[in-house]
Structure 1
Amino acid sequence: MNIPSIRAKVSEQEWQLRCDLAACYRLVAHYGWSDLVFTHISARLPGPEHHFLINPYGLMFDEITASSLVKVDEGCNKVIDSPFPVNPAGFVIHSAVHEAREDVQCVLHTHTRAGVAVSAQAAGILPISQQSTFVLASLAYHDYQGVAFRPEEKPSLQADLGRANFLVLRNHGLLTVGRTVADAFLAMYTFESACQIQIGAQSGGTELTLVDPQIVAGTAQAFKVQTGGLGGSFVWPSLLRKAERLDPSFRT
């Protein structure tokens, strides 16, 4: 697609966030977490205006570029003119999280088969893998209320999420939040891995071994050690290099 660059129209800080978010979309597509065009990743821009970047509705995730991302306000109205449509209904979940969590820059939502499958299980995420222990350290659940396009659902979603960084949307999918795009992506990589492992382990049909709850309680510190205290920023440069190798056009 021939998408005109808007780099000259935005600040350097906004352009960097656009590049990170576009890379995140490309990586989500690469790892097979996209659902055609029907999920979203949003990022809050710095400043008091409550402006956000979100995908142009109708583009596949592997088509998204820094310039094609649409800048909207908290009501999902375009702030910068764009030839691409936006999906206000799809922004309901994201706007609810951004309203309630000033510490969150990025919200990442998926409908993967493993994620939806686990979201339909009454027990939810089981402590059966190292990946699951990182998730369980900051996990919440939100019951299904139909397709999430009604603003009336926002208060219950905000209350259920609380201060957690991982949210199972029952019968729907997965959601992660992060203080950066990198943090939200790494959280989703761990979340999705935990779900795939769980479905795989359950398919064996034998009794599962559970991780000791005391180990689960200490995983927040273990995560800091593994990433040198950097969280998603530790792995993000290597992920950007992967995105570049896949297709550097995300930066345009």
Structure 2
Amino acid sequence: MTTDAERASAVAFARQNCALEHITPSDEALNAARHHMDHAISVGDMASSIEHPSVADSIFFNTIALGELGWKASGDLDELKAIHRRIFDGVFDDAGIIRTSNTRGKVGRAADPEAFFPANLIETGAANISTELSDKRNLHSLDRDVFVKELAHVYDELGYLHPFIGGNAVTLRIFASRLAHDAGWDLDWGKVDASTYKTAKRSAYEGNTSDLERMFHQMIRPANPSRTFLIAGWEQGPAH
């Protein structure tokens, strides 16, 4: 059973994770989340407590549920697929399924007009990233500056991998939070706004991860093992 602090943290993170993609849950959905925090309804009953939940509402509710119930952490493509499946269940027909066609961004990577990773090589690319993480002990026992640099690198690589047609950023923030926590650091996404995030991602996409590193520097603290790691505001959950 989740604690009050865990519920509050899951709701705060879900709302911020949506906001960073300009996804806006309805007032009814936010009200249902408040009822959930008050123990009036369970995490599984939020969607059924309102009439005609929107796509944004479903993503919001699914993120809260994921934050409270967790998922299997494997540090590879299977983990990304599991997160994506849970967040976009009932939203995308291809929830948890990697894309099979190539896609392009608005700008080229390092001045190359070709956009994201070739679809037919996603599994190979993901395996390479997973192996790199494993070789680096999943970023465990690194000093702050080194950790931030390595996290920015893997975040950029996974962003370029872009394994799903949609919902990649929503999924990646959750994966990165889990990876960071297990490595000894917590990320506070409440310290980031959509514009800062977009700028950092665009710069990394063009080959410069310094904005991503700066963003992560502003977000991290040593991990608190007693609290949930999906965070948007340090005041949510047990104090650091």
Q: Which TM-score bucket, shorter chain as reference?
A: 0.3 to 0.5
Say which structure is richer in helix.
Answer: 2
Normalising by the residue count of structure 2, what TM-score does the alignment of the two structures yield? 0.34
